[in-house]
Amino acid sequence: MPRVEVDLPIAVPPEAAWAAVVDVEAFPACMDSVDSVTITRQTDDRHRTSAWAVRLKGSVLQWTEDEVIDPVARRFDFRQVTGDLGEFVGHWGVRTAPGGHSTVSLHVTFDIGIPLLADLLNPVAADALRENAAQMLSALEHRLLAATAPAPATAPAPATAASTAPAPAAAPAPAREAEEESDRV
């Protein structure tokens, strides 16, 4: 079966990366190709089932997967239980990288489920899955970096000419009448 492995170093602590990786229901908000992810069952904090809809090269790929979450290893394994592919298994993982940063991984093994066309379609499917996995990890990186970016410093509002210039003194009544008269002429 074809295998796709995508790893991305991200300049955030592993704890932050892990929290984002296991929060799969937030994926559609930051990943253009992910239409929906819904946790349909959670038996305990290590086992859950989720339903996915992901756009892949113009088609919507749908599946339901069982997940086994290992927070100590910062890894969750998944296996399609129903869906569009013949088989779809893999894992998400977060490893500690130099400097207190992270490497986030998405590794999948799949079978398109059409034996007669496997030789023709597997390379195309592998390329599409690799591209999609890279986009998902990049979107996750953008979300994480935006969340950890320092807020911009707020500078006092610049003074305007109206607020810094002294108020004009009122002209005496006869001078005001003369100005109004010259404006009419």
User: How much of the chain, in percent, has pLDDT values that exceed 70?
Assistant: 81
* Stated pTM of the model: 0.77
Phi/psi at 98 (nearest 5 deg)? -55, 150
Which of 18-22, 112-116, 150-154 is the least confident region? 150-154
Q: What count of Cα atoms within 13 Å lies in the side-chain half-sphere of residue 166? A: 3
What's the chain's average pLDDT? 87
Band of pLDDT at residue 139, cut at 50, 70 and 90: very high
User: What pLDDT is stored for residue 171 in this prediction?
Assistant: 47
- Please give the domain boundaries of the chain with CATH numbers for all domains: 3-148 (3.30.530.20)
User: What pLDDT is stored for residue 174 in this prediction?
Assistant: 46
Band of pLDDT at residue 158, cut at 50, 70 and 90: low
> pLDDT (tens digit, 9 = 90+) per residue, 119-134?
999 999 999 999 999 9
Whether 181 shows a pLDDT value over 50: the answer reads no
User: What pLDDT is stored for residue 57 in this prediction?
Assistant: 87
Among 55, 79, 77, 63, smallest CA distance to 128 is for 55
